[in-house]
Structure 1
């Protein structure tokens, strides 16, 4: 059913997203914590492999994001059947891409592990983990598009409930597969990979059941044949810049991780632990930004552009406040938190020294995320893409190498480059939003429509 306007408020959308993201964060932290009891080498493999999976996920995540934005806009304009068709096409495309990636990762794990610059002692673990988790990428593709579409209909609670069930199952399987309980062998890192893939299969089944009830007209298997060329063009118009931008971010992160791998396994492990802890910093802010994108897309679709414009600033200030509080909390308790993951004093010392730098990184990320998502919501995905391509490759990657490797600043130089990249992109999207280009375009379209009607 179509969501009522009262359910499209920022907080009503945000709190289920927050709980879902919190569960995902806890799942990632639990994974890292459980694997840390196996070895620090296993943690390093998960860290760099996650960057790889994030990069390949982009192909279907971009289609899902474009479809989700268009679904929200169509529902805002009270065009539910068009929204439903967009969601079905997005699902078919993502599953196709996910299936192709699954085959590639399952059978190409060895050369991929070599490309990631994994050290000789990490190679066997890397091949196993990449082949198993990568082989189930099609289920990740299905989960991404299904949860994205469901959220953009205004139903942010159902993906949250699904996440609860999936995470509980995953943690239980992790424990059983890693340590060998309830009759299972002690598989270690292989057990984590199997647990991840099985959880995603179960998650896909749950989300398909929810998706079938997301629109007034139920999904049926005959809908697989649906294809609407104009709506496909609209979806791709939003999706391809998102795909390029998101791919750019993930591949730059992957390149930066290879720089860190060059520094050494301790630096790579420390960065993996920091990734887990940093997720806590912007968890609430990210949820607010995602909720803001859904709300702004609905408002833009319904023609309420001035309300959408000011909503973005509310999202930005709320997000910045929450991120700053969370970052300060992490700064205060980070030492104890890191000791939960490892007893290696060198890794703990390195991680603690980066917590102060994190006070600058996370607010810059929040500024970029809040207003960047707002621009995506109103269809300005190309601007974000162009800004991201230049800044991420020149500043984030280029400076990371210069400061971190060439000038021997190590992780501190890499963090400095990431801060400058996030800050530059944040300032540029702020100026773009203040220009109100999307309102000017909407007014021009309305004037053209009125003139045509008069004629």
Structure 2
């Protein structure tokens, strides 16, 4: 299988190999890492305008982030649905997945824009430290609305291509749009080439131009390869209304899982602020590293989930599913080992990376090492279970595991450790590891029961 073809086992192969997971996973991983890097680049470009502009962009981006996050959550659900359709080889199913996913994403984007229009000014005014920052944030947010609509379409097309196994095209689209974003932002922020200097608004304009380029590339690419879907008649559930309703029912638990995780993370971050200054600084520094390096394991698990969904769509026998999952699981442990090495490098290099920080903060980063060496392994194994169960349609059970582990364990345990017990940062960070261990039995017991292998995906 190449990354530009739906899953097909090579002649003589008994089941897809871990190499095929890697073929899908590496473009998705690079795109995810570059996406996180874009936030850093935008902040760097705006930082030259001063703290006020930087604060305005951060505030506006935080508000828009909830809408973009919702779009991404529904797009991830569509990715699984498309993989099921691609495995079945049914063009009506593929068309239904694309149309329903695009409709839902546009509805989510439009709802988010309506909410920002109605209450955005009030939220900005309430959260901004000054009137000047509020004005700049409102300017940025009004222009960024175009990005939201573009992402609603772009994320949908990317998820469709990922689900079909063509993961390189979304990566290529991002590689094309990233330099456009940087170049356009620099010109529009500072007013080069005879254009006015738009300041912080120029950063939003650069993002809007880049998203337009990305969507155009994806649309043109899909027109060449999947344009035949426009001529396919009929819908998965006979009519479009029931088809859309079924797609939404599949997607909602996945979206709810995302919202719960995002809100729980924000709550825990607020609790972290009660730590000592050095401990809070260390937690703030390590969080992005955990997120960025963690994309390696998460994207591997997502790629494995795509192939499982395709195999289920093909109605492959249980022995093929078992053999493939064992191979993917071994690869997941290799990915976890790589993440452990990267995080260990961050901790051991703290004195060189953060020379301007205090000795206590750097010592705390080093104290994180034992936790971060072990964390990727249960996290990666849980991710394989979660994505496999989602691929079979068992999305509600996966949602319950995430939601209850977050709100009955992680958030209360964090509050207890920080507010009442006044534990050091390394003990607080260990709660992330304990949360994975709490989820571990529920995920693995469900998977080993094997019900997911009988999923017909007809509904």
The residue number in structure 2 matching 1:145 is 156
Task: Note if 1:73 corresponds to 2:84.
Answer: yes
Task: Note if 1:245 corresponds to 2:257.
Answer: yes
Q: 1:97 to 1:416 in 2, by over 3 A?
A: same
Q: 1:265 to 1:190 in 2, by over 3 A?
A: farther
Q: Indicate conservation of the 8 Å contact 2:124/2:137, yes or no.
A: yes
Query: What displacement does 1:301 show?
Result: 1.2
Query: What displacement does 1:333 show?
Result: 3.3
Name the SS for the 1:5 alignment partner: coil
2:385 and 2:182 mapped to 1: Cα distance?
35
Name the SS for the 1:282 alignment partner: helix
Deviation per CA, 1:293-343, whole angstroms, max 9, x where unpaired? Answer: 11111011112243333433234323322222222232233454456xxx5
Q: Out of 394, 397, 401, which is 1:383 matched to? A: 397
Q: Out of 323, 326, 337, which is 1:321 matched to? A: 337
Greater shift, 172-181 or 233-242, is seen at 172-181
Deviation per CA, 1:185-231, whole angstroms, max 9, x where unpaired? Answer: 6655444333333322332222222333343614489999x953453
Alignment: residue pair count: 439
1:406 and 1:39 mapped to 2: Cα distance?
38
Aligned ranges 1:207-246 → 2 under 5 Å: 207-215=218-226, 217-219=228-230, 228-246=240-258
Q: 1:348 to 1:48 in 2, by over 3 A?
A: farther
Query: What displacement does 1:39 show?
Result: 5.6
Greater shift, 143-152 or 301-310, is seen at 301-310
Query: What displacement does 1:380 show?
Result: 1.3
The residue number in structure 2 matching 1:422 is 436
Q: Out of 3, 8, 15, which is 1:5 matched to? A: 8
Task: Note if 1:299 corresponds to 2:315.
Answer: no
Name the SS for the 2:393 alignment partner: coil
Q: 1:349 to 1:308 in 2, by over 3 A?
A: same
The residue number in structure 2 matching 1:96 is 107
1:15 and 1:299 mapped to 2: Cα distance?
20
Greater shift, 293-302 or 135-144, is seen at 135-144
2:425 and 2:194 mapped to 1: Cα distance?
43
Q: Out of 322, 333, 336, which is 1:309 matched to? A: 322
Name the SS for the 1:379 alignment partner: coil
Q: Indicate conservation of the 8 Å contact 2:7/2:307, yes or no.
A: no
Aligned ranges 1:93-132 → 2 under 5 Å: 93-113=104-124, 124=134, 127=138, 129-132=140-143
Deviation per CA, 1:3-25, whole angstroms, max 9, x where unpaired? Answer: 35159721221222233223223
Query: What displacement does 1:427 show?
Result: 4.0
Query: What displacement does 1:79 show?
Result: 1.0
Aligned ranges 1:37-436 → 2 under 5 Å: 52-113=63-124, 124=134, 127=138, 129-133=140-144, 136-183=147-194, 189-215=200-226, 217-219=228-230, 228-260=240-272, 273-304=285-316, 305-312=318-325, 313-338=329-354, 349=362, 352=365, 355-356=368-369, 357-409=371-423, 412=426, 414-436=428-450
Greater shift, 24-33 or 126-135, is seen at 126-135
In structure 2, the gaps of 5 or more residues are 11-15
Deviation per CA, 1:140-171, whole angstroms, max 9, x where unpaired? Answer: 22221110011111111111110101111112
Name the SS for the 1:143 alignment partner: helix
Query: What displacement does 1:366 show?
Result: 2.5
Q: 1:438 to 1:126 in 2, by over 3 A?
A: same
Q: Structure 1-normalised TM-score? A: 0.81
In structure 1, the gaps of 5 or more residues are 447-455
Query: What displacement does 1:38 show?
Result: 5.4
Query: What displacement does 1:382 show?
Result: 1.0
Deviation per CA, 1:102-132, whole angstroms, max 9, x where unpaired? Answer: 23224533433477x6656996365555554
